[in-house]
Amino acid sequence: MAASVLHGERLDHVFLDAGKKQLAGIKEIAPYAATVVSFVPGVGTGVAAAIAAGTALAEGKTVTQALIAATRGALPGGPLATAAFDTATAIASGKNVVDSTFKAAIAQLPPAAQTAANAALATAKGQNVKGAVLQAIRQNMTPAQQKALDVGVAVATARNVQSAIVGAVASGVGAPALAKQGTAVMAATPKFARAAQALSPPARAGYTKAMGLLANKAVNPHAIVAMRTAARPEEQSGIDHALKTYVNHFTPEWPTLVANGSALRGDWKPVKSTDKNAIKGRLVQNGKVTLGHFSRV
């Protein structure tokens, strides 16, 4: 869905990547919601850019109703901005354009935006109705209201993406595609394939599907839990093994200082030989060996 809407649109990938890294480090809902508000408008203008931001947000924290409420409360711009957010989430979340919730949200908008929304409803057809309505509303709003609408679209899109993934995984509908992706991932990364050699056939099946899931964007803990819950016990061990293998592969090896016949693991930094805490030895990390003097950080 997002890919088709975004066809032909310019997107600042550098900004998105930086924003996702910033969001990744935030654990509490309120600060995360406030960062979402600042994250979305910087992507660009228009509904398509807001949807792009939503697909990026889907890779972060699970979009719960609590997070949506917190994001709504973090919006500047007063009641009209809140109304824009409510309208956007109602439409982008999949509400039917004749749904009472949608109509109530439209009724809160400024008169010009209401008129534009009704005109778009009367003329737009097919799958473009919701996008046309959102864009028409947006064109008749102040900058603050436009930002609120963009945030609403992004948050609702993120929730849609996450829900679709969890639904496909939990129901088993996506199992064949995940197994195919997992097989491709293992072929491209021999380390992953070797890690599955000793597994039983059922465990290997779970391992392969988990590798396929982990290779996708917008995968969060809820999707992983959904896969594990739906799996048979013998497959669950394979899923667990895939998670451990995947994490270990992408986590840098802990530095080890080899000195005086001992291997000392820890966080080491290079220092001068005259440093009072200096230890002479070989620092080994990710297959690289560095000779020198080191001390613990």
Print pLDDT tens along the chain (297 aa): 333 323 333 333 333 444 455 455 555 666 656 666 665 654 445 676 666 666 667 666 777 778 788 888 888 888 888 888 888 888 777 656 566 666 777 787 888 888 888 888 777 666 567 777 888 888 888 888 888 888 888 888 888 777 877 787 777 777 888 899 999 999 999 999 999 999 999 999 999 999 998 887 667 677 888 888 888 898 999 999 998 888 777 766 678 888 887 878 778 889 999 998 899 999 888 778 899 999 987
Cα 295 from Cα 274, distance rounded (Å): 11
Give me the pLDDT at residue 40, please.
64
Give me the pLDDT at residue 101, please.
66
Backbone angles phi, psi at 291, to 5 degrees: -90, 140
Alpha helices (runs of H) in the chain, residue ranges in sequence order:
2-5, 13-24, 29-39, 47-57, 65-73, 78-92, 100-107, 111-123, 129-138, 143-171, 175-188, 190-195, 201-214, 221-230, 233-250
Identify the residue whose tokens are 């969890």: 166
Q: Calculate Rg over the CA atoms of the chain.
A: 25
Cα 205 from Cα 274, distance rounded (Å): 56
The torsion angle over the Cα atoms of residues 54, 60, 64 and 68, rounded to 10 degrees, is -50
